[in-house]
Chain A
């Protein structure tokens, strides 16, 4: 249930994102999901990839500051109010979200990647309320 997300430190200057995507592409690593958190001076690139450990090594070898972060991915119906429902459950059970990003693959469902403050508790709460968690192996394949 726990997904290894790749987090990369980037300075806010041109060409950095290209370099990361080129390196991963050359290594035959596919990207499932991607998000950038940015400030005026730097950004953090967050990636779900086909082979997190290999991607980690590739970027580390190229002198990037990179780390693997545990996240979970929620599969939610692609209908209005679905995200709100899931977030309400988490907040009422006092699971706090550090950040999230979402993407939908089709009309039926959407994936929401969550970084909770307490990942074990988050998984328990979601399972208790019968919300569907995406398996790591499935997500890496997208």
Chain B
């Protein structure tokens, strides 16, 4: 079923007219309420009146995660706090999280777009939906929750973790839809096997998986082990949370709710718009959000857009599964990790430039992180116990900064390969 046929099947002209009208209004609101963005516009000699349609979008300056950090916590909100009914914060772990705020209308918009994505995934009001995304500051749990309620499905708000309970409720309640990260779904499959639960014993029909990158191979594995259709959903808190885009039953790219979130593809270095159909960095402009509207937000995700209408009947533009990142961010067990965070932990401990290498592997179905640190003179002690203390301290400091465990190995100086004088910081062996 198509939840909002008028929008989801609109012609390109109708969609552009709607986007244009909404963009003009958004630019006005941001220009008059956000000094930092007004300054950016003034620097390139733009006034709101210069933006007459969606075709003018590429004239506008970009917004980055750094802008949100610089305006921490509420500096990018365009309404008084009395209008804000909820805040969320990203899992970003360097210093300050990025904070987003929602008005009542924003929450309704969010529920609407999530409801559309659920319908794309083939979920209906008779389904029992087990939401195993974390509830809390992370947008995953609550975002899915209100979309499901809006659709009229039955929600099991179990949140993340507690695998035994997840399995018990799946059996006892007859869960037909599971929403979680793809890696957790495989973890559940493993736990089922250990507990002797067969997929035939369960009632699973659809899985809605997001918040981390995954491959077609993983999709096949998940589908065969859990006996469901595995649907990819995309979102980020800076744009709204889950529900920015989602696959339909044809699983050929994710339909973007582009009447709210207008996508562009730019070249990650020249920042120029890319021709239709080419791979580049995905950029979003929110055109209806009130709490924290955002213009040309650089997601750093690399993908391409598909404008051909889909077999499902929707005309909403589709984005392919993300092919990587234009920065060095890694998503490990659903947590965003930048190598610079590791570097600052090491810097705090030594005051000189550390040499290190991060190695990410997928062991079984869980990501593991290994950190090799060169024992430069500032780290070197003549005593074994001091080196063991050093290793434990690095492990502990990284765990408390990133919230994920890491296996630290001390290595000799200059053993980490340097390319053109610059050390390679990350090896990702997960083949995503």
Number of interface residues of A (CB under 8 A): 21
Which among B374, B380, B410, B415 is the interface contact of A67 at CB below 8 angstroms? B380
CB contacts (< 8 Å) of B383 on chain A: these are 44, 98-99, 115
Which residues of the partner chain A approach B374 to less than 8 Å between Cβ atoms? 65
Q: Are A44 and B376 interface neighbours, CB within 8 A?
A: no
Q: How far is the CB of B374 from chain A (nearest CB, A)?
A: 8
Q: How many residues of B contact A (CB 8 A)?
A: 18
Q: Are A46 and B382 in contact (CB under 8 A)?
A: yes
The residue of chain B having its C-beta at the shortest distance from the C-beta of A99 within the complex is B383
Contacts of B412 in A (CB 8 A): 9-11, 16, 63-65
Please state if A41 and B384 are interface contacts (CB–CB under 8 Å): no
Contact of A41 with B410 in the complex, beta carbons under 8 Å: yes
Are B413 and A63 in touch, CB under 8 angstroms?
yes
In this complex, what residue of B is CB-closest to A5?
B382
**Is A87 an interface position by the 8 A CB rule?**
no
| Option from B376, B382, B387 in Cβ contact (under 8 Å) with A42 | B387
Asked whether, in the complex, the Cβ of A42 is within 8 Å of the Cβ of B414, the reply is no
Contact partners of A7 in chain B: CB under 8 A:
380, 382
Please tell me if the beta carbons of A41 and B409 are within 8 angstroms of each other in the complex: yes
Q: A82 an interface residue at 8 Å Cβ cutoff? A: no
Say whether A37 faces chain B, with CB atoms less than 8 Å apart. Answer: yes
Interface residue? B377 (CB, 8 A): yes
Name the contact of A9 in the complex, choosing from B380, B388, B409 (C-beta under 8 A).
B380
Q: Closest CB-CB distance, A117 to chain B, in whole Å? A: 10
Residues of A within 8 A of B387 (CB): 9, 39, 42, 44
Chain A positions 1 through 45: 1 when the CB is less than 8 Å from some CB of chain B, otherwise 0: 000010101110000100000000000000000000101011010
Binary flags per residue of B93-124, CB closer than 8 Å to A gives 1, else 0 = 00000000000000000000000000000000
- Distance between B336 CB and nearest chain A CB, rounded to angstroms: 29
Q: Which of chain B's residues have a CB closer than 8 A to the CB of A16?
A: 412
Distance in Å: Cβ of B354 to nearest Cβ of chain A:
13
Question: How far apart are the CA atoms of A66 and B380 in the complex, in Å?
Answer: 8
Instruction: Determine whether the beta carbon of B415 is less than 8 Å from that of A11.
Output: yes
Q: Give complex CA distance A9, B379 in Å.
A: 10
The residues of B with any CB-CB pair to A shorter than 8 Å are 374-377, 379-380, 382-384, 387-388, 409-415
Provide a sorted-by-A list of 28 A–B residue pairs whose CB atoms are within 8 angstroms.
Answer: A9-B375, A9-B387, A9-B410, A9-B412, A10-B412, A11-B412, A11-B415, A16-B412, A39-B387, A39-B388, A41-B409, A41-B410, A42-B387, A42-B410, A42-B411, A44-B382, A44-B387, A46-B382, A63-B413, A65-B376, A65-B377, A65-B380, A65-B413, A67-B377, A67-B382, A69-B382, A115-B382, A115-B383
